[in-house]
Amino acid sequence: MRLLFIGDIMGRSGRTAVATHLPDLRKDLGLDFVVANGENAAAGFGITAKIAEQLFETGIDCISSGNHIWDQKEIMPFMDSEKRILRPLNYPKGTPGRGVGDYKLADGRRVIVINAMGRVFMDAIDDPFAGVNDALSRYGLGQTAHAIIVDIHGEATSEKMAMGQYVDGRVSMTVGTHSHIPTADAQILPRGSAYQTDAGMCGDYDSVIGMDKEEPLRRFTKKIGRERFKPAMGEATFCAVYVETDDKSGLARTISPVRLGGRLKSIRPE
């Protein structure tokens, strides 16, 4: 199976990058399933139902999220009705939406997407390791699921790395989000799961993690905030992770970073 995981989509420039590059990638790579983290898609803060629908039209099959998922309050009722949008599974019981997606492809193959959020330097929510372990107890990679994808949304690289090692051999790929900087550690772990600490973002890198530079610089240097943060609007770099799995086991055969357009050096799977 050919899988693509798209990093945090930051505002309008990020959405434009996805619309520009994803349709061709789906065709050229023969992608079977695409996940994207969309929690910053609405001007950097949350996502709306309208924007979600626009992203689905570009070729995204599932939208994962993180700590900004509730920034646009209108998304709450949509979360219960739209199964293609996930929130971290380790939010407390009773939180709207779902943290695990179970998707059936046209050819009958089954893809599971698990969205978890770290706790180091993040909100004090439930244990992501216990939550992911519980979710995995319901599925068998290569048995009841042809592919399992984990988005670990976290600040600490150590916590994301620990999650990758924790589920190695039980999932097809674990990819980190939230940091907005693509890491250089794309690899296949010892038991066969693909891993990258952070996919990066789809956003303008002439910025401070996707935000227009002026306000973050003022707050860092003067400790005084004047305005709301707003996304940088220059050309975005499309950042993603491509994984090809073994059809029988569901484990990874190859992993490659994807970077297209914008300021970062381009890299495209062969």
d(CA 22, CA 31): 10
d(CA 105, CA 61): 10
pLDDT of residue 106: 95
d(CA 146, CA 25): 21
pLDDT of residue 227: 86
CA torsion angle 194 195 196 197 (round to 10)? 170
- For the chain, give every domain's residue range: 2-202+233-260
Helix (H/G/I), strand (E/B), else coil: 230 = coil
> Which residues are annotated as catalytic?
68
- Is the Cβ–Cβ distance between 40 and 71 less than 8 Å? no
Q: Which residues of the chain have pLDDT under 50?
A: none
pLDDT of residue 241: 98
For the stretch 231-244, pLDDT in tens is 999 999 999 999 99
Amino acid at 201: M
d(CA 42, CA 80): 19
pLDDT of residue 226: 87
pLDDT of residue 225: 87
pLDDT of residue 270: 79
Q: For strand 201-202 and strand 8-9, is the pairing parallel, antiparallel, or unpaired?
A: parallel
Count of Cβ atoms closer than 10 Å to residue 102 Cβ: 14
Question: Cβ neighbours of residue 66 under 8 Å, at least 6 residues apart?
Answer: 37, 39, 88, 115, 117, 153, 177, 178
Q: For domain 2-202+233-260, give the fold.
A: Purple Acid Phosphatase; chain A, domain 2 (3.60.21)
Strands (E), 50-117: 62-64, 100-104, 110-117
pTM, full prediction: 0.96
Count of Cβ atoms closer than 10 Å to residue 202 Cβ: 36
pLDDT of residue 58: 97
**Residue 210: left (phi > 0), alpha (psi -120 to 50), or beta?**
left
For the stretch 3-51, pLDDT in tens is 999 999 999 999 999 999 999 999 999 999 999 999 999 999 999 999 9
